[in-house]
Amino acid sequence: MATVCGGCQQDLPNMTPEQKKVWKCQACRCKVPKSGNLNTPIRQPEHKLTKPLNTSVEQTNTPENNITIRKKPNNSTLNMTLSDDSSFLGDTLCSDDKENDTPTNPSFQNLSELIMQRLKENNKHIISEIKNTIENEIKKAIFKLKEELEGRTNILSKKNDERALEIKDINKRIEILSKQNETLKAEIKELQTSKTTLEPKHAENNSKKIVIYGFSEQHNESEWELHSRLIDMFHEILNVDLTGYIEDIYRLGRKNTKTRPLVIELLSKRMCKYITEN
């Protein structure tokens, strides 16, 4: 005995060819043997294309319609037949999958945007902190350099002041020495002039003197005794009479065990020259 499908609906002729290819009779699907729950009745799915227009509320609220589907149908049949007329309690699996598929992309986009915004804010905050730290470090380094430079400049200024005082003292000494030098130069000139005037006098005085070495020196002898002894000696040796020609007689140096030289100063150069030549 052949079975004929009784699930043909009135809206079937109004479907598109693609919908007709995909559409399957739900009553026929219920008669197909299943892996589990063989004797459990399945509610009649209600779709826009398969549902009659004059359905009552009593048919939708039957006990058979409260049974949930335990097997996930194909994607094509699910999209065409179980989109709008499936109940909230009976079609939990398919509805959850559809609801979870659609909002994933915007949620990830929102999360990515939030993450990017937070990262940008964090980056800005980090950059600002880094800038502040760098500026603070630079300011500290500049302040330290300024302090070091000020300290060194103060030390150099003090040393410069000390050098200036030393230079002033040296200049004063130089002025004093220059004055002393000028006075010494003047004295040297005076001495040179006096020397030139005194040299002929000394020459004249020395030309009248005769120094005798080895002439015996007696104890506590007087000048008169020396005078008479000299006259006698020159008369005996040179046969020259010096009476009236001797101006002065004296010995050189201090008294000693040795005989001191005797200096005779004559009145005439001729006599002195005659004695020295003979």
Between CA 248 and CA 256, with CA 252 as vertex, the angle to 5 degrees is 130
pLDDT of residue 271: 81
Cα 112 to Cα 87, 103, 116, 204: the distances in Å are 35, 14, 6, 131
pLDDT of residue 106: 62
Query: Mean pLDDT, the chain, as a whole number?
Result: 74
Is pLDDT above 80 for 93?
no
- Which DSSP string corresponds to 161-208? HHHHHHHHHHHHHHHHHHHHHHHHHHHHHHHHHHHHHHHHHHHHHHHT
Separation of alpha carbons 201 and 42, rounded Å: 170
Q: Which one is predicted more confidently, 48 or 197?
A: 197
pLDDT of residue 1: 44
Of the pLDDT bands very low, low, confident and very high (cuts 50, 70, 90), residue 2 is very low
pLDDT of residue 198: 62
**Per mean pLDDT, which of 25-29, 154-158, 232-236, 251-255 is the most reliable?**
154-158
pLDDT of residue 258: 80
Cα 205 to Cα 33, 125, 272: the distances in Å are 175, 114, 11
Indicate the range of 15-29, 164-178, 193-207, 236-250 predicted with least confidence. Answer: 193-207
The percentage of the chain sitting over the pLDDT mark of 90, rounded to a whole number, equals 21
Q: Using one digit for the tens of pLDDT, what is the confidence trace for 111-148?
A: 888 888 888 888 888 999 999 999 999 999 999 999 99
DSSP helix/strand/coil, 211 = strand
**To 10 degrees, the CA torsion angle through 260, 261, 267, 273?**
170
Owner of token pair 């020295």: 276
**Per mean pLDDT, which of 15-19, 145-149, 200-204 is the most reliable?**
145-149
Pick the closest to residue 65 from 88, 49, 48, 94 (CA basis): 88
- Please give the order of strands across the beta sheet that includes 262-266: 209-212, 262-266, 246-251
Q: Using one digit for the tens of pLDDT, what is the confidence trace for 138-192?
A: 999 999 999 999 999 999 999 999 999 999 999 999 999 999 999 999 989 888 8
To which H or E segment does residue 212 belong? strand 209-212
Query: What is the per-residue burial (b if ≥16 Cβ within 10 Å, else e) of 23-53?
Result: bbebeebeeeeeeeeeeeebbbbbbebbbee
Pick the closest to residue 7 from 37, 41, 46, 55 (CA basis): 46
pLDDT of residue 161: 93
pLDDT of residue 203: 55
Q: Using one digit for the tens of pLDDT, what is the confidence trace for 36-91?
A: 555 555 555 555 445 444 444 444 445 545 555 555 555 554 444 444 444 444 44
Determine contact, residues 27/5, Cβ cutoff 8 Å: yes
pTM for the full predicted model? 0.28
Separation of alpha carbons 78 and 92, rounded Å: 13
Phi-psi region of 35 (alpha: psi -120 to 50; beta: other; left: phi over 0): alpha
pLDDT of residue 100: 46
pLDDT of residue 142: 94
pLDDT of residue 194: 78
Copy the structure tokens of residue 206. 């020395």
